Amino acid sequence: MYMRISNEKLEKSIKEFLISKGNYNESDDILINELLFNIALIKQCKVDIKNEGYKINITQNPDKEPYYVRNQSVIVYTNCMKELKSLFQALGISPRERSKLSLELPDKDDEFEKDFSK
Size of the chain in residues: 118
DSSP 8-class letter at 68? E
Residue-wise pLDDT for 29-44, tens only, equals 999 999 999 999 999 9
Task: Tabulate helix, strand, coil % of the chain (nearest 5).
Answer: 60, 5, 35
Question: Is residue 9 scored above 80 in pLDDT?
Answer: yes
Contact between residue 87 and residue 35 where contact means Cβ atoms under 8 Å apart? yes
Alpha carbons 35 and 10: distance in angstroms, whole number: 10
User: How far is CA 82 from each of CA 39, 71, 86, 88, rounded to the nearest angstrom?
Assistant: 11, 18, 6, 10
- The reported pLDDT for the residue numbered 65 is 93
- The reported pLDDT for the residue numbered 114 is 56
Which residue did the predictor score with more confidence, 107 or 7? 7
Instruction: For the chain, give every domain's residue range.
Output: 7-101
Residue 63, SS3 per DSSP: coil
Residue-wise pLDDT for 87-113, tens only, equals 999 999 888 887 777 654 334 445 555
User: How far is CA 83 from each of CA 8, 31, 73, 80, 90, rounded to the nearest angstrom?
Assistant: 20, 11, 15, 5, 10
